[in-house]
Amino acid sequence: MRAAIVRRPIEAAALLREVAATGHGATSLFVGTVRDVSDERAVTGIEYAAYEAMATAELARIAGEAVERFGTGALVVEHRVGALAPGEVSVAVAVAHAHRGPALDATRYVIEELKKRVPIWKKEHYADGTREWVDPTLASRAAGLSTRNAGRSTFPERAG
Amino acid sequence: MQIQVLLFASYADAFDAPELQVALDDGATVKELLARVQQMAAGQALPPSPMVAVNRCYAAADVRIRAGDEVALIPPVAGG
């Protein structure tokens, strides 16, 4: 298991190699990329910032939860910070398991929890020259994201 | 005690600083810290109950802060 915040390009193929073993019948890969549009505005790039010490710790906690819950140690997750252009990979999760069910479920678990809990922020740069920190809790963005918002309210309890 | 509070992203912009120095009584709670920060001029930019991390873990309102703790205000996260 490995969880990292990185400042270099993410190589999805390298993550796949990292979790490979002949005992695995299934390998699941999630790759998140920067889109060139957000809320109908043209996006020229995204600047990702993190509270790196906590983001690394929280990502490792999430990875550990997935390892325990889905029964595999073959799990790698990386999130990139810094300035990214549309099409570049911002996050990748690779999970291998004997069977496809746990591999897919663990991948989904990691990316969903990451989006709810890991202290990473993004400033979108728009084609019109303006820049804005994205706030997923604002109404225009929260539409259709009720699950994410429900998860958000559980943060303090999770901390224990 | 004097507590250094880390700020990020939109909160760092609001206070125009990467951190704040906040004077608190020993054993003050997260809730008391927030009340103090929200009294500051730029504090009005914060939501009613911003998330707080103590020693790199999310902390509920009743968590007590000790001298030397690493404390941060966490804007709504937007990774992925």
Q: What are the tens digits of pLDDT across the range B6-40?
A: 999 999 999 999 999 999 999 999 999 999 999 99
Spatial CA neighbour of B78 closest among A160, A90, A64, A104: A90
Separation CA A144–CA A140 (nearest Å): 10
- Strand pairing of B51-54 and B71-74? antiparallel
The ipTM is 0.95
| Chain A residues inside the 8 Å CB shell of B75 | 121, 133, 135
pLDDT attached to residue A138: 86
SS3 B53: strand
- Name residues 14-53 of chain B within 8 A of A (Cβ): 47, 51, 53
Q: Which two three-digit tokens encode residue A104?
A: 């897919």
pLDDT > 70? residue A141:
no
Average pLDDT over residues A145-153: 40
pLDDT > 90? residue A156:
no
pLDDT attached to residue B40: 93
Domain limits of chain B?
2-74
For domain B2-74, the CATH class is alpha beta
pLDDT > 70? residue B61:
yes
Separation CA A126–CA B72 (nearest Å): 29
Q: How big is the A-B interface in CB pairs under 8 Å?
A: 87
Instruction: Judge: B8–A54 Cβ closer than 8 Å, yes or no.
Output: no
Local structure of residue B49 (DSSP, 8 states): S
Domains plus CATH for chain A?
A: 2-134 (3.90.1170.40)
- Strand pairing of A26-33 and A89-97? antiparallel
Q: What is the least distance, in Å, from the CA of A68 to any CA of chain B?
A: 20
Give yes or no for a contact between B44 and B34, defined as CB atoms under 8 angstroms apart: no
Q: What are the tens digits of pLDDT across the range A20-69?
A: 999 999 999 999 999 999 999 999 999 999 999 999 999 999 999 999 99
Separation CA A32–CA A35 (nearest Å): 9
How many degrees, rounded to 5, is the angle at CA A117 between CA B8 and CA B33?
A: 50
Instruction: Judge: A156–B58 Cβ closer than 8 Å, yes or no.
Output: yes
Average pLDDT over residues A86-101: 98
Residue with more model confidence, A155 or A123: A123
pLDDT attached to residue A140: 58
pLDDT attached to residue A149: 39
Q: pLDDT above 90 covers what percent of chain A?
A: 84
| Chain A residues inside the 8 Å CB shell of B60 | 156-157, 159
The position carrying tokens 């709810």 is A116
